């Protein structure tokens, strides 16, 4: 039975699902998935602690087992390349991530994969940007995606803090 918990963050309430062996979901929704246990397992407690440390500025890389679920080989390669090669405070363009992944996924397809990322923040899709700006972002509270992406990138030092 999966375990579910939440933390308050500067970008909204973050929900995390663990199956005890891996983190399987990270969301900006605080509603537990059907059948989830309200009692956190050890991995969920660790994931929530690491997220708190990240938002406090004390953690730069998550050290958690993740399960991306059923994905195509290309999607798995893209998300793995992002997780493994784009560190805290760095960004990569959609096209750059396509090249790093070793797949034939076009830049536009990379955007769709980022939007379907089951474990944002841990697999840092907010670090993928357009060649001419921030690009899109489906994370964060409804209607606040780009504001959330900008906050995360500023928090990591990848963008200068806003002047206003």
Residue 82: both structure tokens together: 């992002």
* Per-residue pLDDT at 35 exceeds 70: no
What pLDDT does residue 164 have? 44
CATH number of 73-155: 1.10.10.10
Residue among 46, 141, 145, 133 nearest 91 (CA): 133
Taking each helix axis as running N to C, give the angle between helix 107-115 and helix 94-101, from 0 to 180 degrees, rounded to the nearest 10: 90
Q: What is the mean pLDDT of residues 14-22?
A: 95
What pLDDT does residue 76 have? 96
Domain ranges of the chain: 3-55, 73-155
Active site residues: 125
d(CA 105, CA 112): 10
Q: What is the mean pLDDT of residues 130-149?
A: 90
Q: Quick check: helix, strand or coil at residue 87?
A: coil
Give the DSSP letter of residue 31: P
Residue 63, C-beta contacts closer than 8 angstroms, at least 6 positions apart: 50
Sign of CA dihedral 100, 128, 113, 86: positive
Percent of the chain beyond pLDDT 70?
A: 93
Q: Tell me: the pLDDT tens digits for 79-130? A: 999 999 999 999 999 999 999 999 999 988 999 999 999 999 999 999 999 9
Q: What's this model's pTM, rounded to 2 decimal places?
A: 0.92
Q: What is the mean pLDDT of residues 23-50?
A: 84
């Amino acid at each position: 039975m999966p375990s579910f918990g939440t933390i308050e963050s500067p970008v909204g309430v973050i929900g995390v699902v663990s199956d005890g062996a891996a983190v399987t979901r990270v969301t900006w929704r605080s509603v537990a998935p059907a059948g989830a246990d309200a009692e956190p397992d050890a991995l969920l407690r660790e994931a929530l602690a690491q997220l708190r440390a990240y938002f406090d500025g004390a953690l730069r890389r998550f050290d958690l087992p993740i399960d991306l679920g059923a994905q195509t080989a290309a999607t798995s390669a893209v998300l793995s390349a992002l997780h493994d090669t784009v560190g805290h405070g760095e960004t990569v363009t959609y096209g750059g991530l396509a090249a790093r992944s070793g797949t034939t996924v076009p830049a536009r397809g990379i955007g769709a994969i980022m939007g379907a990322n089951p474990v944002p923040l841990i697999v840092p899709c907010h670090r993928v940007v357009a060649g001419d700006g921030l690009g899109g972002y489906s994370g964060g509270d409804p209607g606040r995606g780009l504001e959330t992406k900008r906050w995360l990138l500023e928090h990591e030092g990848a963008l200068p803090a806003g002047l206003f």
